[in-house]
């Protein structure tokens, strides 16, 4: 009898210990599960490098991720990026129906950046008529944070940015894309050879002569006072670009309106990785 009581007590104690151990390990188990799911969806861009510091799911089945890091597989090599937090504003079970699940993120930036980083909203609807909408705010960023996109041409570039990127993708439809970014005074610096890219598309004018002079002096960096960039996707095989930039040192107020075309009807996903293959035409 005493032996049976002992084994019952021992079994109960062991079960309690396992329950306590599982409760302490549950947050880490959630992290591992979510990490695996996220890495599967983003493998092409992050090569299974995404790590998540903390995952919580509240009673309303809303999820929150903190301390997200990963190495973006850029053309020049892996780039360490981070996102401070990513959370759902709606319960995840809405994915089972037609209603969208809304997300909010903040602090998206290169690791080591001193600025707040990108923030924005994401809305995802599942099912056959799936829909994805994103809005990204640039108000806490600097052109310096984008140097990793092209380290050679953006080396030394800076300037506090503001503006917004919006994107909508609906099942069976081409994506809708719109980007508007402004660098207000006092502006910043940019590589002089940046202006060389636009010479073939500038008509003969005083402004073109000033661009030629700027590029020919071979200064590494040029100071600009203001800049505006607008990009949109009017057709699946083309992207419209409108650029305004003011360089007082050369009395240059450059305005460029051009259309970038790709050989395939997939410019939204190709435009960032085939810059050496694009065909650009002034509009």
Output the CA angle 177-180-186, nearest 5 degrees: 160
Long-range contacts of 207-213 (CB under 8 A, 24+ apart): 207/252, 207/253, 207/254, 210/250, 210/251, 210/252, 211/252, 211/254, 213/250
Instruction: Return the percentage of the chain with pLDDT > 90, whole number.
Output: 35
Cis ω on the peptide bond leading into residue 276 (within 30° of 0)? no
At 33, is the secondary structure helix, strand, or coil?
A: helix
Burial string for 133-168 (b: 16+ CB within 10 Å, else e) reads: bbebebebbbbbbbbbebeebbeebbbbbebebbbe
Output the CA angle 102-105-107, nearest 5 degrees: 175
Sign of the four-CA dihedral 241, 262, 157, 49: positive
pLDDT in tens, 130-140: 899 999 999 98
The pairing of strands 118-125 and 101-110 is antiparallel
pLDDT in tens, 168-219: 988 888 888 899 999 999 999 998 888 887 888 788 888 889 888 888 877 7
- pTM for this one? 0.77
Q: What is the pLDDT at residue 265?
A: 54
DSSP per-residue string spanning 220-250: SEEEESEEEEEEEEEETTEEEEEEEEEEGGG
pLDDT in tens, 6-52: 344 444 444 444 433 334 344 555 667 778 878 887 888 888 999 98
Per-domain residue ranges for the chain? 1-137, 180-283
């Amino acid at each position: 009898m005493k032996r049976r009581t002992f084994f019952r007590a021992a079994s109960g104690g062991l079960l309690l210990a396992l329950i306590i151990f599982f409760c302490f390990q549950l947050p880490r188990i959630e992290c591992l599960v979510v990490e695996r799911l996220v890495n599967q969806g983003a493998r092409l861009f992050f090569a299974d490098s995404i790590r998540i510091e903390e995952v919580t799911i509240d009673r309303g089945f809303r999820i929150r991720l903190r301390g997200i890091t990963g190495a973006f597989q850029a053309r020049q090599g892996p780039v360490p990026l981070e996102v401070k937090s990513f959370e759902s504003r709606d319960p995840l079970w809405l994915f089972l129906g037609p209603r969208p699940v809304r997300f909010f993120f903040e602090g998206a930036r290169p690791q080591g950046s001193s600025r707040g980083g990108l923030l924005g909203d994401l809305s995802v609807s599942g099912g056959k008529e799936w829909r994805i909408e994103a809005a990204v705010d640039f108000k806490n960023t600097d052109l310096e944070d984008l140097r990793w996109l092209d380290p050679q041409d953006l080396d030394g570039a800076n300037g506090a940015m503001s503006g917004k990127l919006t994107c909508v993708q609906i099942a069976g439809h081409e994506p809708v894309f719109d980007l508007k970014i402004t660098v207000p005074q006092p502006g910043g610096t940019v590589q002089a050879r940046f202006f060389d890219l636009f010479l073939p598309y500038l008509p003969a004018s005083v402004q073109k002569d000033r661009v030629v002079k700027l590029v020919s002096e071979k200064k590494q960096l040029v100071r600009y006072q203001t800049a505006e960039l607008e990009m949109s996707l009017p057709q699946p095989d083309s992207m419209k670009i409108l650029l305004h930039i003011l360089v007082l040192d050369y009395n240059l107020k450059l305005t460029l309106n051009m259309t970038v075309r790709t050989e395939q009807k997939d410019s939204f996903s190709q435009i960032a990785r085939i810059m050496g293959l694009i065909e650009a035409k002034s509009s």
